[in-house]
Structure 1
Amino acid sequence: MHVVTTRNMRFLLVLFLLIALVISIFIIAYAPHPAESAPAVANPKFNAMWEYSDKYVNDVPGAGRGFTWGPNSLAVLQEDYQEAPGGKRLVQYFDKSRMELSPDGKYVTNGLLTKELVTGQRQDGDNIFTPLSPSDIPVAGDSNANGGNALAPTYASFQNVISFNPGENTAQAQLNQPITLSIDKAGKTLNLNNPPAKVLIGYYEPTLGHNVPTVFQDYQNLMGQVWNGSSYQKGAVYTDNPTANVFGYPVTEAYWIKANVAGTEKDVLVQLFERRVMTYTPTNPEAFRVEMGNIGQHYLQWRYSGGVPLAVWKPTPDQPIHWHWQLSDEFVYPRDVLPNVTVYDIDGEKTSAETVAKLHALSPDIKVICYFDAGVYESYRSDAGRFPASVIGNADVGWDNSYWLDIRQTDILLPIMQDRIQHWCKDKGFDAIEPDETEVWSNDSGFAITKEQNNFYNMKIAEMAHAAGLSVGLKGNTSETGELWQYFDWTLNEQCWEYDECDNLKSSFIDHGKAVFNIEYNVNPLCSTANSWHMNSARRDLNLVNPTSSKYRYSPCVPDTKNSW
């Protein structure tokens, strides 16, 4: 168990007694369990379509593939459509697409979202279109809300190369040829003499006249476990007709683009389809090289000028947040409940669902954060047997039975972390996760981990938390906040005042409307500045013991009885 993130070995942590009462966790290997985190689906036909491909991903930890639709319902709406009864049709938005109920209510489609985003023509009937501006949202990589992905092409960038009618911007068949085309944000295309990777064309789709890379062809034809309405069976993940039911026809060629991913510029191969966007990033870990873009989320944001926010907790700096952080002692209800506290950060494995429910019952304002270590191996955890020797590195100095992890091996570690998020956090009713010890690259881990690889791991942890419908905080990584703030909903920092790093937190999280939680162990926080910045700062005991302990210390900059800065 960790309460302090070791940074650059600047200090040795004192040893303390670890009270490790490990709760037995029933690990159901490969067999599905009830999908407690499945989204509320608005219609039985929507539900059947969602369950076909996504029930397995939701039910089985480490399923080995991503969601087709997504684990979160972003919005359920009645949208204008002239031919629908009463001029309205039922739609439901997920990260990866949108489900639409046909006007006669008999079948489900997922919309030609790409066409509307690129042309700016919102379709409100079979022959009715409302003109809007083409979308300026990047088709791949980071959000550009604050200039973080200014280089990447947007949907609007593809206006002059896209096909929606036969004979429009068609290409010649080039089977087995390498892909050399590139496109920039201005929509300018170029043939590259030395493309970033050798990716060959797998097939030619004659309907609109476009070539499709083998990497996307293989992805579309993926076989795996699907739900037939009563049980799992092996089948085509994207149905026996992926073109009609999931992707649509390709409407552009595949283009190499430049895009910022986790704050780092990368070469990404992008292809637009009628219903989806597909990306291939050759420098990503193998399991994440081919991905489906978040076109459902992008379309919702475009259509509703900011969209409907994900249903996760996103604390802001507007008012002080009174919080209690307890790790070295198991949280006991009601012994450790404090007056006026609205946020509890406690160990995810050791805390029961019953305890989380009791905390929530205290007030609708209560939020409970699930703590676990994501960058170190701990021999006393219930899932310790899942970590092969190849990922376990040097000892994390100051912590018994704790060793740094090779976070480059995402194919091994991310499924374990996904299971922790699901079983230790989501299934127990937590609101958020605090993944600790994730700044591995700057420590003596025994592995040649780069800052970029470390940022990628952090980004993937955040993605998994959001996929589970949970808020996620960046723990530590103070010098990387400028690159990572946009992926996290808040941050928890230790000793930024002692090490003169608090400016990083203000310029990243606070200046972008996201809450900062700060603890000091050896010095008092500079409360006048913390309060003026709207940073939740306090002095605590190093071991983060329970409030009844004689070693408990808590001196916040804003008293728990006060709700203004």
Structure 2
Amino acid sequence: MRRLAVLLLTAFTAALTLTSTAGAHWHPKPTTAAWQWQLQGKIDLAIEADVYEVDGFEVPAKTVSALHRKGRRAICYLDVGSWESYRPDADRFPESVLGRAYAGYPDERWLDIRRIDILAPILRSRFDRCRRKGFDAIEPDNIAGYENKTGFPLTAPDQLRFNRWVAREVHRRGMAVALKNDPEQVGQLVGRFDFAIVEECFAYEECGKFSPFVGAGKAVFVAEYSEPLAAICDQAERLRFSVIHKDYDLFARPWEPCFP
């Protein structure tokens, strides 16, 4: 009987700890202040940005700690919707979940996100890596596969189920989670995600679709590659979006923010 009581107490304590951790994660508020997105090259800590997004595999924990010492937040970039041949865990993905090549990226293939049973242990390991390194948040990339030619008959409900699963798993690890693009599902997902990271919403005239995040008190971080900032910063200020101009390769520089 005593052993049973101990087991029950242990289980209750673990559940309470998980709940407390999940509720304590970072909640970025709407801002026009600059952010930085660097996925290639040595991380340039001299960029004056409050928020950095960097690669979850390539960037070591000591760099995350260095960002924190400077008072900055660190977002862990991970691909969850497509397979990358060059990642150290690439051989864990069975052929059955690998779809068509990602257009423009010959080393990537779309994943069958319906097979959460297969993908879950692999992605959980990735989320755990971000947590161990001390990241504040995760940006799960390629979470709008249903809009693309993936090689699988993915539907909008399939995508919603997968995206909600991703958000839940990240929150269980005490980190914030970003909605990456996926403008058509913002209304259904804004309550599950803590902020948005968007590529070229000004170029594609989609920025308004992400306004529900600001309405919910959540930040929207935007990267534009082609639109000149002079043409969009006034609108960015009205929308309360944080906007930067970058090159597609996402080295440290060039880096041009709408507002410092």
> Given residue 215 of structure 2, which amino acid in structure 1 is its aligned partner?
D
205, 212, 215: which one aligns with 1:511 = 215
Determine the structure 2 residue equivalent to 1:406: 112
| Residues 422 and 468 in structure 1, CA contact (< 8 A), matched pair in contact too | yes
Q: Does 2:63 correspond to 1:355?
A: yes
Whole-Å separation in 1 of the counterparts to 2:225 and 2:244: 9
Question: Alpha-carbon deviation of 1:50?
Answer: 5.9
Mark the structure with the bigger radius of gyration: 1
| Closer, same or farther: CA 340–392 of 1 in aligned 2, 3 Å | same
Whole-Å separation in 2 of the counterparts to 1:47 and 1:523: 61
Q: Deviations over 1:319-364 (max 9, x none)?
A: 4332111013243xxxx0125322110001111111111221122x
306, 314, 327: which one aligns with 2:27 = 314
| Residues 327 and 346 in structure 1, CA contact (< 8 A), matched pair in contact too | yes
522, 531, 545: which one aligns with 2:226 = 522
538, 543, 557: which one aligns with 2:258 = 557
Whole-Å separation in 2 of the counterparts to 1:410 and 1:340: 39
- TM-score, normalised by the number of residues in structure 1: 0.43
Question: Alpha-carbon deviation of 1:390?
Answer: 0.5
Question: Alpha-carbon deviation of 1:53?
Answer: 7.9
Please show how residues 48-59 of structure 1 align to structure 2 within 5 Å. 49=8, 51-52=10-11
Whole-Å separation in 2 of the counterparts to 1:411 and 1:54: 27
Q: Does 2:96 correspond to 1:390?
A: yes
Please show how residues 278-297 of structure 1 align to structure 2 within 5 Å. none
Please show how residues 404-553 of structure 1 align to structure 2 within 5 Å. 404-423=110-129, 425-506=130-211, 508-525=212-229, 526-546=232-252, 552-553=253-254
Please show how residues 201-350 of structure 1 align to structure 2 within 5 Å. 310-317=23-30, 319-331=31-43, 336-350=44-58
| Residues 32 and 243 in structure 2, CA contact (< 8 A), matched pair in contact too | no
Q: Deviations over 1:493-516 (max 9, x none)?
A: 00111111011011x111111100
Question: Alpha-carbon deviation of 1:394?
Answer: 0.2
> Given residue 73 of structure 1, which amino acid in structure 2 is its aligned partner?
S
| Residues 321 and 343 in structure 1, CA contact (< 8 A), matched pair in contact too | no
Whole-Å separation in 1 of the counterparts to 2:189 and 2:6: 34
Unaligned 5+ residue runs, structure 2?
Answer: none
Question: Alpha-carbon deviation of 1:524?
Answer: 2.3
| Closer, same or farther: CA 50–405 of 1 in aligned 2, 3 Å | farther
Secondary structure in structure 2 of the residue aligned to 1:71: helix
Percent identity over the alignment?
37
Whole-Å separation in 2 of the counterparts to 1:382 and 1:53: 36
Greater length-normalized contact order (CA 8 Å, ≥ 6 residues apart): 2
Whole-Å separation in 1 of the counterparts to 2:70 and 2:33: 16
Q: Deviations over 1:169-218 (max 9, x none)?
A: xxxxxxxxxxxxxxxxxxxxxxxxxxxxxxxxxxxxxxxxxxxxxxxxxx
Structure with the largest fraction of helix? 2
Secondary structure in structure 2 of the residue aligned to 1:312: coil
Question: Alpha-carbon deviation of 1:467?
Answer: 0.3
Question: Alpha-carbon deviation of 1:48?
Answer: 6.6
CA RMSD of the aligned region, Å?
Answer: 2.0
Q: Deviations over 1:398-433 (max 9, x none)?
A: 11210000000010112211110002x001111100
Question: Alpha-carbon deviation of 1:51?
Answer: 4.1
| Residues 36 and 47 in structure 2, CA contact (< 8 A), matched pair in contact too | no
| Closer, same or farther: CA 51–520 of 1 in aligned 2, 3 Å | same
- TM-score, normalised by the number of residues in structure 2: 0.91
Whole-Å separation in 2 of the counterparts to 1:464 and 1:362: 28
Q: Deviations over 1:61-98 (max 9, x none)?
A: xxxxxxx5562326xxxxxxxxxxxxxxxxxxxx8xxx
| Closer, same or farther: CA 431–444 of 1 in aligned 2, 3 Å | same
Question: Alpha-carbon deviation of 1:555?
Answer: 2.2
Q: How many residues align?
A: 254
Unaligned 5+ residue runs, structure 1?
Answer: 1-45, 56-67, 75-94, 96-309, 547-551, 561-565
| Residues 374 and 436 in structure 1, CA contact (< 8 A), matched pair in contact too | yes
Please show how residues 372-391 of structure 1 align to structure 2 within 5 Å. 372-391=78-97
Question: Alpha-carbon deviation of 1:540?
Answer: 1.1
Determine the structure 2 residue equivalent to 1:123: none
